[in-house]
Amino acid sequence: MDYDLIIIGSGAAGLTAGIYASRYQLKNAIIGDLVGGLTTEAHKIYNWPGDPGISGFELTKKMADHVMESEGEIITDQVLEVEPVVDGSFVIKTKSGKNITCKKVLFTSGTKHRKLNLPREEELLGKGVAYCATCDGPFFKGRKVIMVGGGNSVISAALYLADLASEVFVICRGESLKGEPVWRDELIKRSNVKVLYNTNVVGLVGEEKLEAVTLDTPFSGSNELTAEGLFVEIGLIPQTELFKKLGGETDQFGYIKVQTDMSTTVKNVYAAGDSTDSSNNFHQIVTACSEGAIAADAIYKSMNVK
């Protein structure tokens, strides 16, 4: 057997689980194609205990360094298949061709960006359409940009872009922004930010690059709003495809159902972080870390390691 535990996903939950698993002297490895996951895209995190303002990249780098200092292992790869074995163990097959055996599996696969699913959205990706303000924002310095969304993620990203872009239009389908009041008030104060409520983006205009978006509600007498950039912040989708292939149970939204010890409906399989229905569906970095720690503890206890 290669490992006691394989952790699939290298975001905050997976990195925390790896730290705890190593301290419990479980032979473990974290497998993920991006160390830090979506957290690396966060421009600033203001609610991480002990640090009132830290970038997502910096925070997850610290976590990854902690994993290595704990003599853990991080494998940069993509898991393609989790194959059950008769004895209750698993074979993990990766994109690079590895076949890794393990006794327990912990899914910390997180989420991916939800898309607008509009015609030409894929073709214009990287040509004006983006899903990460921190990654692509600097390319739009001094330019006019549009953001779509109504929660904390769009507010945080809009505040960041307001320091770079000449104008920022936030397209909100509801009657108000749903983010934290402090952030929301700060955004509304910005002189170069305009929020359009009860409005949806229903089309993209441009051949070689984005030139404008089509709105379902006119603004300044037109249904077209010109811009060089469109940042989509409309929520996330849990990445649970591999878990579902094992026959695992998810809720109506696709999140993995877990018990209080992070165990799932599949024997010897656990889950933690943003892809689960735990922590009252409060998907935060701090709750992801908590779930990762709980899962590692439960796995250790289940193996009766002395």
So which residues are the catalytic ones?
132, 135-136
**Measured distance CA(268)–CA(4) in Å, rounded:** 11
What token pair was written down for 201?
């983006």
Residue 108 to residues 9, 14, 148, 274, Cα–Cα distance (Å): 5, 5, 27, 8
Q: How many CB atoms lie within 10 A of CB 161?
A: 29
What token pair was written down for 24?
């419990």
* Type and span of the H or E element at 289: helix 285-303
Q: How far apart are the first and last CA of the chain?
A: 18
Q: CA quadruple 232, 236, 237, 243: dihedral positive or negative?
A: positive
222-226 and 212-219 beta bridge pairing: antiparallel
Burial class (CB in 10 A: 0-12, 13-18, 19+), 44: middle
Asked whether 134 and 41 are in contact (CB, 8 A), the reply is yes
Q: What is the 3-state secondary structure (H, E, C) of 50-107?
A: CECCECHHHHHHHHHHHHHHCCCCEEECCEEEEEECCCCCEEEEECCCCEEEEEEEEE
